[in-house]
A and B are shown apart, each in its own frame.
Chain A
Amino acid sequence: MSPLLRQAMTVSLAGICLWSLGAAAWASESGPASRTPGPVPIVAQAETAAPVPSGSQGPTVLPPGGTSIEDLLLQKGSITMDEWIQIRAEQEYSGAESARRIDAIEDWKTRTELLPMLRDKVNFGLNALQFLYSHQDAHVPEGKSQDNFSIRRSELLFWGRISDTLPRWHALMEFQSINFGRETPTGGSGAATGQPIAATFFRESYIDFRPFQSWAPYMNFIRMGIFRMPFGIFTETSGGLRDIISSPYLTSVGSGNGNRTGSAGSIDFLQERDFFVDVRGKLFNRLEYVAGIMNNNNFHANATGANAPKSFYTRVRLFGSDVSWISFTTIQGESNNANTNINGRGKGAFDRYGLDFRYTSKIIPGFMVQGEWWQGHDGSNQTTVGRPANGACLDQSICGGSGAPGAQRRTWYVLAKYLISDGPLQNWEPTVMYEQFDPSTSMSNDLYTRTILGLTYYFENFPPKVQSKIQFNYEFRHHQGNGPGVAYDTTFDAFAQNAFLVQFQIRFM
């Protein structure tokens, strides 16, 4: 067989095969249509006979998928089966895509709901970020200024709720004035002179423990750690929610070293924070109580102080309304002047008695007045931190210290403010405060007095969470002296000269 003939036969055979396959395929498609009517034939009929008028065959049998729009269109012959299948395929794809997305979201939701942040186990906020400008009329040593800018507070707060039994953990960090120099650099030297002021990041840290759920709120919880002490009002008010810029004299007043009158030197009458454990609760829905024991050495004692002395304290607060009250506080215990971090409290028996009130008017919304009165004995031989002292000995030549007997100190203040809530002065709040501090009630010529006129503008005011504001305070300060017969010069005494302060604050938590 010649090659040419062989090629012709091969092509012929291939053609026959292809024709056979095509014929078989055509036959398999068209064959059933003629054999069996019903649902399947309808599909075939619709596919093969698009021009056939609708309803001619099988309109009583619905296509798969029910009576959707495309089904109706298909029944009426407006679309072909190809188009119907395409529509359904797109719907199924779209449905699968939606399901996939929902699954992804659900998965993400499940994962994120486990995050401690979303379960209230971990939170953080800005307790107070304050930028302060101050001017004081009192003279200052060479190298210092009467006008100062400073970061007053830069406090970040962390807290959370573990469970009903452990309803709160809390830690407050202070990020300003860490190891700042006490003096400004002199003589072209880059190094600061004097001792560095050692502050600490660590400011507050405590745990709340509620042993019996069914006892709350009558015996609500036990708090242990370091926090603002429940002494009156001001001590326990957050630095980010205070109505005036300066702290009242009841926390600290005076400067320099003590003397035998007990009237001179820096006096820390009430510490704001301390190591303590106490129990808190509420009775009759009107009477709050706190009772506990503390180290009585301020929180700085964590690092350096002697933690030997212990004091008991308690406060009862009787509410006249939800936001108006009167309280009684007492502290009873021992003070220790050896290496103590509380200035001028002496060695031995120590007590404080306090009365405070707040009236928040419901008749004049925005008006509030509050006040505190405190009195108490220090131990004898009061001294200042860093000066020698040794027990309750009153002979200064032997024991060091000031040699002063345990002085009875007394202080009080009244503060009033009015928040303007409408009109052109909306969000402005005028404030006025007057206070006195008597370092020794048995001595004359030692009284501190101060009147503060303040004006606050609130950018945001949703206490206790949010409070952004600018405060202007002018302080009229007066100091009589350091006791009878003691030489005294007001020139450099910051407590005897007026001061002006402006503070910008942000608080958000």
Chain B
Amino acid sequence: MTRLYRSVILVIGLALTACGPTQIFPSASMDGVDKNFDFTAWRNVPNAQTDRKVQLGGRIVQANTEKGGLVIIVTQLPIVEQPAYGPKDNGRRSGEFAVVYSGALDPKWLAPGHRLVVIGTTGQAKAVMVDDVQRSLPSLTAQCVHIWRTAGREISDFPHNAGGGYEPLEEETHCVS
């Protein structure tokens, strides 16, 4: 009987673990992060909400190399749990923001269309060139970024629906040292 109970507890434990939330960043990095940050309000008045540690998701528009790091321009997308964890395009345009990443990344991670989740600290609006147009975007100094190499597709399209066969999705977390 004891063995049966242990087995049941093990199965329940595994099931709960299997259905638990996805953790893509180191636990220490997540301390004090506002996961429900109001992007729209920040987008409208960027300088009103500085020095806040937040988590945002989106799709990479472009990446510029600057002195001491990278500036990644991202179109904001909501982060969802289903059908696959990550930023999901719901068809509504919300706006762009700039991620300042003080490190180096392989260019393969910075291609337009890749999905990204970033945690970092909000800063002053930043003047950037997007498609040869000077724009002032709210900026975020990144602590960690997690990038999916989706190249414009949905995360949930992988691995079974990305091409005419099975194609695993490459993803990686990068943190500034």
Contacts and interface: CB of A to CB of B under 8 A. Distances in A.
Interface of A: 119, 127-128, 155, 157, 159, 164, 167-168, 170, 172, 204, 208, 210, 213-218, 220-221, 223, 228, 230, 233, 236-241, 280, 283-285, 287-288, 322-323, 325, 365, 462-465, 509
Interface residues of B, number: 29
B164 A322 contact: no
Given A238-B164, A240-B163, A241-B163, A465 B151 contact: yes
Contacts of B151: 462, 465
A221 B162 CA distance: 15
B34 interface: no
Interface in B147-177: 151-153, 156, 159-172
Interface string B88-132: 000100000000000000100001000000000000000000000
A213 B163 contact: no
Given A215-B82, A217-B156, A240-B163, 14 more contacts: A127-B163, A208-B160, A216-B156, A217-B85, A228-B164, A228-B166, A230-B166, A238-B164, A238-B165, A280-B160, A284-B17, A462-B111, A464-B163, A465-B153
Contacts of A119: 91
A213 B82 CA distance: 7
Nearest to B164: A238
Contacts of A230: 166
Contacts of B152: 465
A217 B82 contact: yes
A213 B171 CA distance: 23
Nearest to A230: B166
A170 B160 CA distance: 11
B18 A167 contact: no
Contact of A464 (B85, B106, B167): B167
B170 A322 contact: yes
Given A214-B82, A322-B170, A155 B156 contact: no
A283 B22 CA distance: 11
Contacts of A509: 163
Interface string B56-100: 000000000000000000000000001111000001000000000
A365 B156 CA distance: 25
A233 B171 CA distance: 20
B164 A323 contact: no
A236 B91 CA distance: 31
B28 interface: no
The 8 closest A-B pairs by CB, nearest first: A464-B163, A238-B165, A216-B83, A238-B164, A283-B18, A236-B166, A464-B167, A127-B164
A167 B156 contact: yes
A217 B161 CA distance: 14
